């Protein structure tokens, strides 16, 4: 009776609306089939008898223990370095009086579109044994492979997350707080230590944990830059691709899943809750900026140095794509582009783009729909739907990939009981992966793109939707519109900025993802990131770089198109801020 009172009425209300019911069922099915089921299958495979033996073996053998240790150490160093760089950029951007802020901001955004392997390869060419900088300028044969190189590549690829996080927080800090501290006679440094840092502590924790999860899940960088420094993600990859041992792969995956999930849950339920930066909405006064010459110029110098490094990396990629052999023969050539655009790579290019174009709007709309359901509709399990959707990104991509292989490599059928053997079983889900799957495995790849992109759309949708007065939607319903029409005419236009952000992220993510699809590509369906990996492994850096340049170009064009179509302002955002 008690629970019936709580949810009974709400459920009846949802069931009255067929479109709402269908959306809800669809979302629950999506989360279960496309996310939870593969993860469970992967865990299941690791718990077979053979798997349990492997667990014992891996956890007690020195060599494997050090792989686990390596993974965690790399996670911590990348998280620390990335958070520090992100904070530095944000702090200088918001609080320090320096020139070229716009430029710094743009450079900080560049890594959003970093094709896998590109940064790692460029770092080798700059700082490796024959590196342009290490050998060319300093004359040392430096071995960049291993933890140092990985930390450099990963923190430069990932710090943008931390940067955007801190920038938002610093801008939202009420300047009157700082003014109050200064009024009480605190010096700038003291204000920084006693007011700003404590207020941002949840932000530091959140960035650190997010970067940790991203870092230990990364596959591309350790494959190229790892050297003898083996981590779990590469072990999973080698188990599948090199050794064809799916049980071992599942066992390594579960070992990798433990820290990922732990950190994800800590970040969601502990840090996520306690992050109460005093966002007052209408800050009074203007933020004071740091003018102290030594502080100012030394911070400026460090940020500019990092900017230069990022530019150098992307310059290597670009120059590498139009010269014969980077570092050896700088003769200009269009061979690499020719290979990608007209040759072997053209199919990968068009296929990947097509898949991303299909996945992007679906991920965007799905993200907004789930955000709408989670924020606005009280149904049992809405916490689970939110959590399940977020697992799509919290779980390392390799794990999702193996799960897909395990679940969708054969059609999922149901045999009807009590009918003869000659009646064929009913296919619930056809074979999705592998060469002879529906659309040659393309469907699985598109689904993985959606699964990996929806979480970001969901988060930005939830953030924006919870700022919108629910009475606006109720007004629409009160005027006779049903839920579906209200969503289309009122909710979606109002959360359009979140929708746009979700779409951009989905496209960029889909185009650059590797770990989740590396096991799903087939000879029929080639994916650009997979091809980049192949070319890199073969040492044909020129081709790899040409792929990267084209990939970056496609993403930039797509962002431009999305801004023009979805982003055209009708003033909805402004009037929301105006507080009608």
Partner 1 sequence: MAVSHNGAADSLLLNKISKIFPARGGGGEVTAVNSVSLTIQQGEFLTLLGPSGCGKTTTLRLVAGFELPSAGQILLDGKDITNQPPNKRDMAMVFQSYALFPHMTVFDNIAYGLHIRKLSRSEIKTKVESTLDLMGLRNLGERRPNELSGGQQQRVALARSLVMEPRVLLFDEPLSNLDAKLRVQMRSEIHALQRRLSITSVYVTHDQIEAMALSDRIVVMNQGQIEQMGTPDEIYRRPVSRFVADFIGRANFQETRAEAMMNGEATVTLLGQKMTISVAGSPKAGDTLVAVLRPEALKLRADSSLQPALVEQAMYLGSEVEYRVRINNDTLVVVENDPRASHIFAEGETVGIDLIPEAIHLLPK
Point out which residues bind partner 1 (CB under 8 A). Answer: 2, 5-6, 9-10, 12-13, 16-17, 469, 471-472, 474-482, 485, 489-490, 493-494, 570-572, 574-576, 578-580
> Please, which residue, 2 or 332, has the CB nearer to partner 1?
2
> Please, which residue, 186 or 472, has the CB nearer to partner 1?
472
Minimum distance between the CB of residue 269 and partner 1, rounded to whole angstroms?
15
Minimum distance between the CB of residue 382 and partner 1, rounded to whole angstroms?
14
Contact 322, 336 (CB under 8 A): yes
CA 567, chain centre distance (Å): 22
> Please, which residue, 474 or 537, has the CB nearer to partner 1?
474
CA atoms within 13 Å, Cβ hemisphere of 367: 37
> Please, which residue, 5 or 183, has the CB nearer to partner 1?
5
CA atoms within 13 Å, Cβ hemisphere of 504: 21
Minimum distance between the CB of residue 459 and partner 1, rounded to whole angstroms?
22
Which H/E stretch holds residue 204? helix 197-217
- In whole angstroms, what is the distance from residue 498 CA to residue 366 CA? 12
Which H/E stretch holds residue 338? helix 335-341
Minimum distance between the CB of residue 385 and partner 1, rounded to whole angstroms?
19
Query: Structure tokens of 466?
Result: 């919870």
- In whole angstroms, what is the distance from residue 90 CA to residue 100 CA? 13
Minimum distance between the CB of residue 264 and partner 1, rounded to whole angstroms?
24
Minimum distance between the CB of residue 213 and partner 1, rounded to whole angstroms?
29
Which H/E stretch holds residue 276? none
- C-alpha triplet 212, 106, 366: angle, nearest 5°: 60
Residue 272: exposure state from Cβ atoms within 10 A (0-12, 13-18, ≥19):
middle
Contact 151, 74 (CB under 8 A): yes
Minimum distance between the CB of residue 28 and partner 1, rounded to whole angstroms?
22
Minimum distance between the CB of residue 281 and partner 1, rounded to whole angstroms?
15
Which H/E stretch holds residue 426? strand 426-429
Minimum distance between the CB of residue 10 and partner 1, rounded to whole angstroms?
8
Minimum distance between the CB of residue 404 and partner 1, rounded to whole angstroms?
39
Question: Could you give the residue ranges of the DSSP H alpha helices within 435-580?
Answer: 442-465, 470-478, 483-486, 492-494, 496-512, 528-537, 541-565, 572-578
Cα distances from 169 to residues 181, 192, 318, 505, in angstroms, run 18, 14, 34, 21
For residue 290, the cross-strand partners are: 96
Minimum distance between the CB of residue 122 and partner 1, rounded to whole angstroms?
44
- In whole angstroms, what is the distance from residue 70 CA to residue 64 CA? 10
Tokens 């460090």 appear where?
302
- In whole angstroms, what is the distance from residue 464 CA to residue 489 CA? 16
Nearest CA among 361, 542, 386, 402 for reference residue 466: 386
Nearest CA among 102, 2, 4, 13 for reference residue 483: 13
Nearest CA among 176, 168, 200, 198 for reference residue 288: 176
> Please, which residue, 12 or 244, has the CB nearer to partner 1?
12
> Please, which residue, 411 or 497, has the CB nearer to partner 1?
497
> Please, which residue, 109 or 477, has the CB nearer to partner 1?
477
> Please, which residue, 354 or 467, has the CB nearer to partner 1?
467
Minimum distance between the CB of residue 9 and partner 1, rounded to whole angstroms?
4
> Please, which residue, 184 or 471, has the CB nearer to partner 1?
471
> Please, which residue, 206 or 490, has the CB nearer to partner 1?
490
- In whole angstroms, what is the distance from residue 155 CA to residue 159 CA? 6
Contact 287, 175 (CB under 8 A): yes
> Please, which residue, 435 or 470, has the CB nearer to partner 1?
470
* Torsion (CA) 113, 115, 121, 125 in degrees, nearest 10: -40
> Please, which residue, 295 or 378, has the CB nearer to partner 1?
378
Minimum distance between the CB of residue 64 and partner 1, rounded to whole angstroms?
45
Look up residue 306 and give its DSSP letter.
Answer: H
- In whole angstroms, what is the distance from residue 191 CA to residue 290 CA? 12
> Please, which residue, 3 or 228, has the CB nearer to partner 1?
3
């Amino acid at each position: 009776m008690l629970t019936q009172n709580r949810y009974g009425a709400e459920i009846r209300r949802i069931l009255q609306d067929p479109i709402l019911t269908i959306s809800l069922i669809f979302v629950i099915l999506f989360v279960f089939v496309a996310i939870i089921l593969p993860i469970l299958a992967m865990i299941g495979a690791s718990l077979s008898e053979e798997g349990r033996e492997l667990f014992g073996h891996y956890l007690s053998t020195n060599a494997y223990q050090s792989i686990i240790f390596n993974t965690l150490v790399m996670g911590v160093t990348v998280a620390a370095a990335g958070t520090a760089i992100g904070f530095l950029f944000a702090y200088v951007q918001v609080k320090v009086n320096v020139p070229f802020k716009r430029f710094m901001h743009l450079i900080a955004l560049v890594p959003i579109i970093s094709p896998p392997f590109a940064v790692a390869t460029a770092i080798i060419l700059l700082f490796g044994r024959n590196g342009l900088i290490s050998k060319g300028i300093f004359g040392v044969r430096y071995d960049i492979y291993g933890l140092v190189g990985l930390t450099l590549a990963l923190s430069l690829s990932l710090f943008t997350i931390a940067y955007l996080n801190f920038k938002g927080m610093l801008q939202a800090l009420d300047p009157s707080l700082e003014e109050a501290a200064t009024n009480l006679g605190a010096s700038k440094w003291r204000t920084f230590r006693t007011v700003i840092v404590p207020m941002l502590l949840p932000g530091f924790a959140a960035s650190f944990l997010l970067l940790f999860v991203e870092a230990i899940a990364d596959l591309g960088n350790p494959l190229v830059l790892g050297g003898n420094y083996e981590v779990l993600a590469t072990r999973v990859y080698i188990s599948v691709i090199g050794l064809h041992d799916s049980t071992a792969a599942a066992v390594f995956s579960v070992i990798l899943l433990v820290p990922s999930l732990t950190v994800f849950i800590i970040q969601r339920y502990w840090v996520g809750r306690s992050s109460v930066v005093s966002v007052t909405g209408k800050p009074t006064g203007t933020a004071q900026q740091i003018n102290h010459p030594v502080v100012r110029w030394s911070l400026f110098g460090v940020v500019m140095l990092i900017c230069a490094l990022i530019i150098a990396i992307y310059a290597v990629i670009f120059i590498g794509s139009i010269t014969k052999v980077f570092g050896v023969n700088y003769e200009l050539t269009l061979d690499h582009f020719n290979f990608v655009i007209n040759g072997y790579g053209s199919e990968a290019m068009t296929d990947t783009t097509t898949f991303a174009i299909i996945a992007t709007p679906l991920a965007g709309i799905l993200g907004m729909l789930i955000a709408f359901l989670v924020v606005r509709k009280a149904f049992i399990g809405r916490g689970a739907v939110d959590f399940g959707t977020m697992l799509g990104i919290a779980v390392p991509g390799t794990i999702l990939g193996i799960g897909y292989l395990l679940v969708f490599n054969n059609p999922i059928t149901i045999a009807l009981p009590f009918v003869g053997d000659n009646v064929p079983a009913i296919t619930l889900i056809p074979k999705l992966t592998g060469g002879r799957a529906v659309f040659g495995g393309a469907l699985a790849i598109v689904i993985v793109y959606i699964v990996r992109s929806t979480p970001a759309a969901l988060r930005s949708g939830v953030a924006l939707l919870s700022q919108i007065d629910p009475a606006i939607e109720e007004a629409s319903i009160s005027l006779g519109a049903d839920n579906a029409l209200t969503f289309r005419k009122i909710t979606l236009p109002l959360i359009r900025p979140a929708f746009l952000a979700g779409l951009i992220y989905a496209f960029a993510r889909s185009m650059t993802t590797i770990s989740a699809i590396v096991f799903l590509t087939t000879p029929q369906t080639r994916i650009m990131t997979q091809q980049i990996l192949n070319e890199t492994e073969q040492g044909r850096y020129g081709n790899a770089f040409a792929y990267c340049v084209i990939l970056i170009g496609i993403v930039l064009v797509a962002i431009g198109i999305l801004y023009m179509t979805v982003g055209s302002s009708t003033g909805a955002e402004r009037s929301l801020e105006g507080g009608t």
